[in-house]
Amino acid sequence: MTTVHDFTVSDADGGATPLGQYAGRVLLIVNVASKCGLTPQYEGLEALHRRFHERGLTILGFPSNQFMEQEPGTDAEIQEFCRTAYDVTFPVLAKVDVNGPDAAPLFGHLRTEAPGDFGPAYGGFYDAITRIRPDAGADEVKWNFTKFLVDRDGRVVRRYEPPVLPEQIADDLEELL
């Protein structure tokens, strides 16, 4: 059975990061963007990181420019933004595609394991995204700040759609930690 630990991703400096190095830790994997209305979620993600890191949580941010080009910067520019705007101390890796033929294999796995529940319950956000991306597949990442919770064994536990704030995930993290 394939787990998240079987994947290797690129870090922002162009090096390889085997996710197996996080075996035994709970992961929250998030596609991020610096020019999105949801960008302030970096603050909540960093708060989760500071609260739970010592107990075994690692947050991994993956910038993506696939949603209205809201992450246009280089990896170096993204790193600088994260440090200066939100004092981010969790790993923000290399920019990736999360959907389509060039999607990072990790995100193909995440989407398959946790297709999501994006629908009318998300109100105006759902309506707006449906207008922008009417042909999005059921398993696709719909927008920036989609979050995937992964247990200590590398199994995908749950997907949180973009409007779910990081602080709303704290109880689920408590259960896994």
Cα–Cα distances in Å, from 48 out to 69, 167, 176?
27, 7, 14
In the numeric block, the tokens 């059921």 are attached to 138
Residue 101, both tokens: 């033929």
Q: Is the predicted pLDDT of residue 158 greater than 90, yes or no?
A: yes
Which CATH number is 49's domain given? 3.40.30.10
pLDDT confidence tier of residue 121, bands split at 50, 70 and 90: confident
Residue 49 phi/psi, 5-degree rounding, is -60, -50
Q: Is the predicted pLDDT of residue 136 greater than 80, yes or no?
A: no
For this structure, is 36 an active site residue? yes
Q: Is the predicted pLDDT of residue 116 greater than 90, yes or no?
A: no
d(CA 114, CA 160): 9
Residue 126, both tokens: 């759902």
Q: Is the predicted pLDDT of residue 117 greater than 90, yes or no?
A: no
Q: What is the mean pLDDT of residues 6-32?
A: 97
Give per-residue pLDDT as tens, 44-89.
999 999 999 999 999 999 999 999 999 999 999 999 999 999 999 9
Provide the pairing of β-strand 16-18 with 57-63. Answer: unpaired
Q: Is 102 exposed, middle or buried (0-12, 13-18, 19+ CB in 10 A)?
A: exposed
Say whether 156 sits in a helix, a strand or coil. strand
Residue 152, both tokens: 């200590």
d(CA 143, CA 44): 17
- pTM recorded for the entire structure: 0.95
How many structural domains is the chain composed of? 1
Q: Is the predicted pLDDT of residue 126 greater than 90, yes or no?
A: no
Q: What is the mean pLDDT of residues 100-128?
A: 87
Q: Is the predicted pLDDT of residue 134 greater than 80, yes or no?
A: no
Q: Which amino acid is at 166?
A: P
Q: What is the largest CA-CA distance in the chain?
A: 41
> What is the residue range of 73's domain?
4-176
- The catalytic residue among 6, 36, 139, 172 is 36
